Amino acid sequence: MSIAPCSERQDGELDDMKPGVTEDGELRLTRRSFVQSAGVLAAGVAAGAGKVAEAQAASEVRAGAPRIHAVTVTINGKQQQMSLDTRTTLLDALREHLDLTGSKKGCDHGQCGACTVLVDGRRVNACLTLLATLDGAQVTTIEGLAQGDTLSPVQAAFLHHDGFQCGYCTPGQICSATALIEEQKHGMLSQVSWEKGMAATGRPELSDDEIRERMSGNICRCGAYPNIVAAVRAAAGMGAAASLGSSSRNEVGA
């Protein structure tokens, strides 16, 4: 089916013709019927576009809607059941839902270490750890290291060696140092262990270089590094068995 070109029509013919299909199978339109058809077509397209936009908006709402996931996590020895948005980080769960504000939010991007906590004995950045992944885990925060009024060996060493100034990074530093000492006990190596040829010994001594390397994920904007290193060295020398709690999922260094 085709539309007869206007050039084959006489002036005024289009206005006089009735719309329809000719004997040759041509679609015949007057100006009026063409304009009417175009209007109907445009309205149909607009209605279709509206439906598409509506479906797209609904899909965006669905994508942004919270999805709740329930987990049971032991935090500082206390079992907690939480049903939160799957996007909730461990750091936000601790600070905003459990009122455990000792773990700090520095960068919220895994770059400063202020949020460091222990999960099954391993140090992690709580700002990068989704709560939804921790079902059955044991979490220890800075609030869980002391036994009542008795500080953990690492906490006591930080106090004794003045390993902080403003204190914002300190909870993360202490959690990190606590795990570091356990890692060294279990023979975990660092880059410095290899560079200094200590890897073959199986359990490199915690030299200052080792401590600096192993604590390099914890930034201190006050620059209290010399005292932090001294505190970690002292705590390690005391055989600081940290209050990690027992790990049911992953033993440190396993």
Give the interface with ligand FES as residue ranges (CB under 6 A): 105-108, 110-115, 125, 127, 164-170, 220-222, 224
Contact 104, 168 (CB under 8 A): yes
Kindly state the DSSP code that residue 89 receives in the 8-state scheme: B
Could you give the CA distance from residue 105 to residue 161 in angstroms, rounded to a whole number? 25
Minimum distance, C-beta of residue 177 to ligand FES, in the bound complex (Å): 13
Q: How far is the CB of 243 from ligand FES (least distance, A)?
A: 22
Compare residues 145 and 169 and give the one whose CB is closer to ligand FES. 169
Min separation Cβ 202 and ligand FES, Å: 31
The amino acid occupying position 205 is: E
Packing angle, helices 225-237 and 170-185, rounded to 10: 40
CA atoms within a 13 Å half-sphere pointing along the CA-CB vector of 218: 35
Q: Which residue, 125 or 193, has its beta carbon nearer to ligand FES?
A: 125
Nearest CB to ligand FES, comparing residues 3 and 107: 107
**Nearer to ligand FES among residue 220 and residue 240 (C-beta):** 220
Closer to ligand FES at the Cβ: 115 or 198? Answer: 115
Give the nearer residue to ligand FES in terms of CB position, either 128 or 151.
Answer: 128
| DSSP SS3 for 224 | coil
Alpha carbons 128 and 134: distance in angstroms, whole number: 12
Q: Give CA torsion, residues 240, 242, 243, 246, to 10 deg.
A: -120
Compute the least distance from the CB of residue 252 to ligand FES, in Å. 21
CA atoms lying within 13 Å on the CB side of residue 1: 8
> Which tokens go with 187?
């023979």
- DSSP bridge pairs for 71: 82
Which residue, 135 or 162, has its beta carbon nearer to ligand FES? 162
Radius of gyration of the chain, Cα coordinates, nearest whole angstrom: 34
Classify 25 in phi/psi space as left (phi over 0), alpha (psi -120 to 50) or beta.
Answer: left
Helix (H) or strand (E) holding 85: strand 78-85
Smallest gap, in angstroms, from Cβ of residue 224 to ligand FES?
A: 5
